[in-house]
Amino acid sequence: MADPAVKVTRHGYALADELFQVRGDDLHVGGLSVREIVSQLGSPAYIYDGAVMRRAYRRLAAVLDGFAAIYYSAKANPARGVIRLFIEEGAGVEIASLGEYHAAIAAGAKPEQILFAGPGKRHAELAAVIEGGIGEIHIEGLDEIARLRAIGRPVRASLRINPVPAVQVGAMRMGGKATAFGFDEEDLDAAIAAVAAVPNIELVGIHVYGGTQILDAAALIESWRHAITLAARVARTIGRPLATIDLGGGLGIPYYEGDRPLDLDAVAAAIPDLAASMRSEPLLAGARAVVEPGRFLAGPAGLYVSEINAVKTSRGVRFLVLEGGMNHHLAASGNLGQVIKRNYPVVAPAHMTATPDQPATVVGPLCTPLDTLARDTGLPALAAGDLVAVLQSGAYGLTASPGHFLSHPAPAEALVEDGRIERIAR
C-alpha cells in the first residue's frame, strides 16, 4: 500500500524515456529489452548502450568543434569496448596508470593519442609508457621530474597546475585546496624552472583539472578561461609557444532529482570568445585545447541491473534486497564521495507501464546499512525475481567499487549496440 506521507523519488522514469526506448512494459537498451539482455548475461549485470555513448560524444564534439580535441578519460569506464568506441568516434585517451595504458593500446589507441596524468606515477610505469610511446606525460610533482630525468629518454610533457581557490568548481573540489594533484599555481615558476633544467623533457603544455561533476556551465567556462590565462603565463615564462592546453574533464551529468543537465548551448556560446582569447596570445596561436571527460561520455549510457532476491518489510519500510549492491556500484550507494546521500535514478525495467507508486528502499546483499542503493524510491509492486535498474551507471561504476567485499561474484558486463551484445571481460 502506498503511504502518502512518504516522499518518493521517481526521476528515473523521465530519464529512461529520454535516454533509451520504452516499448510496452520493457525498457530497451541498444536495441534489445533489458529483460532479454539479462536473460543472456545473468543477473546482476552492467549494460552499456553504445549508441547513447556515441550520441554524447557527438554532441560534445559539435560544441567543441574547431576549439578543443576530446580525450576520453579511461578511468570512468576502462572496458576495452568502451574505450574502442570513443577511439572510433575520434577521441584520444587520457590514462592514469600503466594498466589503463595497456587497456587503451588494446582498444586500438595509437601511443601518440594517449595522455598520462595521475599523481602517483611510478618509475616503472613512466619507463614502460615512454618505451611503448606516449603522447604526453602530465607532470604532477618534482619527484616525477626527477624520474623522467633518470629515465633519460626524450618525452613531451605538460605541467599539471592546481589553480588558486577563486576558480575552484564542481561537486568534488580538486583545485584550490591543498592537494596531491599537480603544482600549486603559486609555485608555477619554480615548477617551470625545474622542468627547464631537464634536457630530455620537452615542455609542451599545461593541464588544469578544476573539479568533477560540474553542472554549472558558467563555472566550467570560468575554469577553462583561467586555464588559458595560465597557459599564456607559462608560454611567456619559457618564451616559446605551447602545443597543448588541457582544460580537464569534469563535465557533469544529472544524477539526483532536481539536477539540471549541464547547459551545452551555454558552453557552445562561450567557445568563440575562449578561442579568441587563445589566439590573441601569439605564443598560444598554434596551440590546441584538450578536454578530457569521462563521466559525461560514459555515464548516461550505463545501467546496473539486478534481480530482486528478497522483499521484506521492517517497521513500515519495504526493502527490495538485490543480488548485488555497493560491492558492484559504490557510487549509487552514496559512498563514493557524496556528502548528502540522494537517490540515483531507479526503474523497474520490465514493468515500465506499471505506476511507480510503491515506496521502496533498494538495498544490496552486504551486511552493512551502507549497502543501500536508493531510499524511498517509487517503484511498482515488485516481487523476488523481478528486475531493478539503476540508471546513470556507465561511469565510476564497477571499477570504482569494492568488488571483493563479502566475496560475492562479479556482475556480468556488456556493451550493447544495434541488438548485438558484446560481453566485456576484465
Q: Which is nearer to ligand PLP, 97 or 377 (CB)?
A: 97
Question: C-beta of 396: minimal distance to ligand PLP in Å?
Answer: 7
Among the listed residues 212, 223, 358, 372, the single contact to ligand PLP using CB under 6 A:
212
Q: Which is nearer to ligand PLP, 203 or 382 (CB)?
A: 203
d(CA 66, CA 68): 6
Q: Which is nearer to ligand PLP, 296 or 304 (CB)?
A: 296
Among the listed residues 74, 117, 195, 332, the single contact to ligand PLP using CB under 6 A:
117
Contact track, ligand PLP, 16-55, x by CB under 6 A:
----------------------------------------
Among the listed residues 175, 293, 394, 397, the single contact to ligand PLP using CB under 6 A:
293
* Cis previous bond, 44, omega within 30: yes
Q: Which is nearer to ligand PLP, 70 or 382 (CB)?
A: 70
C-alpha closest to that of 137 among 200, 179, 188, 47 = 200
Q: Which is nearer to ligand PLP, 94 or 371 (CB)?
A: 94
Count of positions on this chain that bind ligand PLP (CB under 6 A): 18
Considering only residues 344 to 383 of the shown chain, the ones binding ligand PLP according to CB under 6 A are none
SS3 311: strand
For residue 90, give the C-alpha cell.
575520434
C-alpha closest to that of 111 among 89, 131, 127, 86 = 131
Question: C-beta of 228: minimal distance to ligand PLP in Å?
Answer: 17
Among the listed residues 29, 96, 230, 373, the single contact to ligand PLP using CB under 6 A:
96
SS3 81: helix
Question: C-beta of 150: minimal distance to ligand PLP in Å?
Answer: 24
Determine if 83 is a binding residue for ligand PLP (CB under 6 A): no
Q: Which is nearer to ligand PLP, 260 or 312 (CB)?
A: 260
Question: C-beta of 158: minimal distance to ligand PLP in Å?
Answer: 11
| Distance, first Cα to last Cα, the chain | 42
d(CA 153, CA 146): 12
Q: Determine the residue with CB nearest ligand PLP.
A: 249
d(CA 321, CA 372): 9
Q: Which is nearer to ligand PLP, 100 or 413 (CB)?
A: 100
d(CA 300, CA 250): 14
Considering only residues 226 to 265 of the shown chain, the ones binding ligand PLP according to CB under 6 A are 248-251
Question: Does 367 participate in catalysis according to the annotation?
Answer: yes
For residue 404, give the C-alpha cell.
571483493
Among the listed residues 94, 100, 125, 136, the single contact to ligand PLP using CB under 6 A:
94
Which residue stretch of 68-76, 79-87, 271-279, 343-351 sits at the interface with ligand PLP (rule: CB under 6 A)?
A: 68-76
* 214 φ, ψ (degrees, to nearest 5): -90, 120
List 367, 383, 418, 425, catalytic entry: 367
Among the listed residues 44, 141, 294, 300, the single contact to ligand PLP using CB under 6 A:
294
Q: What is the torsional sign of CA 10, 403, 129, 190?
A: positive
Residues in the chain: 426
Q: Which is nearer to ligand PLP, 34 or 117 (CB)?
A: 117
Among the listed residues 80, 226, 295, 329, the single contact to ligand PLP using CB under 6 A:
295
Among the listed residues 9, 33, 43, 73, the single contact to ligand PLP using CB under 6 A:
73
C-alpha closest to that of 245 among 209, 217, 220, 191 = 209
Question: C-beta of 86: minimal distance to ligand PLP in Å?
Answer: 13
List residues bridging with 28 in a β-sheet.
21, 33
142-151 and 188-196 helices cross at what angle (nearest 10)?
10
* 318 φ, ψ (degrees, to nearest 5): -90, 125
From its phi and psi, is residue 108 left (phi > 0), alpha (psi between -120 and 50) or beta?
Answer: left
Which distant-in-sequence residues (6+ apart) come within 8 Å of 52 by Cβ? 19, 20, 300, 301
SS3 282: helix
d(CA 309, CA 416): 25
Question: C-beta of 248: minimal distance to ligand PLP in Å?
Answer: 5
Which residue stretch of 31-39, 53-61, 233-241, 290-298 sits at the interface with ligand PLP (rule: CB under 6 A)?
A: 290-298
Residues forming the active site = 367
Residues that bind ligand PLP (CB under 6 A): 73, 75-76, 94, 96, 117, 209, 212, 248-251, 292-296, 395
